[in-house]
Amino acid sequence: MNIYSRLAELQSRGESVALCTITQTSGSVPRQAGAKMLVFPDGRIEGTIGGGAMESRVIDEALAALKDGTPRTLEYSLAGDAGRGDPGICGGTLEVFVEAIQPQSTLLIIGAGHVGRAMAKLAKFLGFRILVSDDRPELCTPEIVPEADAFYPGPISELPKQLDINSQTFVVLTTRNAEVDVNGLPALLDLPFGYLGVIGSRKRWAEARKKLESAGIDKKKLDRVVSPMGIELNAETPEEIAVSIMAEIIMLRRGGDGKPMSV
């Protein structure tokens, strides 16, 4: 396996993976410095850094890195002293660097109306990968949204089967009415998205939420939804609304607080 080609492939598909690399060794060890292993969010691995209990521990750390995004340097002694819990009997020591390789941040726009198209233009400028979905196929095309990288015409309920939605996926429902939201949101609420927002007024979301709760949707799941979306700018035009929403997404992505910097 060419590890770098594999990483490029995963990046192009928008998938997350942890890269584990042996950086230093001394004494007798199963693999030498430079050995690499990929760990996927579901625990699958490709490659090996030596197997056994040590590799199992690294996999656990890699899964943690995928959740918190923090790289880590791990040191192991393979002395085989059961009392100390050392993971091996080779007698050497090794150091492993673990880093989460996250895909390019993706904006999934559901609803290719005026605001959705304005968001695609702005988000492309900001460096996001753009995915567009609409249950009106005539709007979900390169002619209508030339900035998009991929198109998913059809109902919202089909999206989890068609693409990988992860912590680097920011989902915005710029839909035409609350009925579309009520019908489509249940399919998205259990996914590990980085952001899920619904356009519209407080009244629109309150009515949609009431219908969803009546249908048995857990309130805690609905609490993950941001609505109305955006930073308060008194925005009116589709372009201004897009700025408001993208400002909120950038704030959350970068850990900002939304306060004026002059204060």
Give the pLDDT confidence of 143-179 residue by residue, as tens digits.
Answer: 999 999 999 999 999 999 999 888 889 999 999 999 9
Average pLDDT over residues 29-50: 94
The answer, yes or no, to whether residue 83 has pLDDT greater than 70, is: no
Polymer length in residues for the chain: 263
The amino acid that residue 1 corresponds to is M
Is residue 92 packed enough to be buried (19+ CB in 10 Å), middle (13-18) or exposed (0-12)?
middle
- What's the pLDDT score for residue 220? 95
- What's the pLDDT score for residue 85? 47
Average pLDDT over residues 121-131: 96
pLDDT exceeding 90 applies to what percent of the chain? 77
Residue 71 has phi, psi (to 5 degrees) of -70, 160
Domains and CATH numbers, the chain: 3-101 (no CATH), 106-254 (3.40.50.720)
Under a CB-based contact definition with an 8 Å cutoff, are residues 187 and 156 in contact? yes
Mean of all residue pLDDT scores within the chain: 92
- What's the pLDDT score for residue 86? 55
**Kind of pairing between the strands at 129-134 and 106-110:** parallel
The answer, yes or no, to whether residue 1 has pLDDT greater than 90, is: no
Of the given ranges (59-63, 87-91, 112-116), which has the lowest mean pLDDT? 87-91
The answer, yes or no, to whether residue 3 has pLDDT greater than 50, is: yes
CA gap 38, 44 in Å, rounded: 8
pLDDT range class, residue 82, cuts 50, 70, 90: very low
Please name which of 149, 161, 146, 144 lies closest in space to residue 105, comparing C-alpha atoms. Answer: 149
pLDDT range class, residue 84, cuts 50, 70, 90: very low
pLDDT exceeding 70 applies to what percent of the chain? 96
pTM: 0.75
- What's the pLDDT score for residue 81? 53
The amino acid that residue 129 corresponds to is R
74 or 2: which leads in pLDDT: 74
pLDDT range class, residue 240, cuts 50, 70, 90: very high
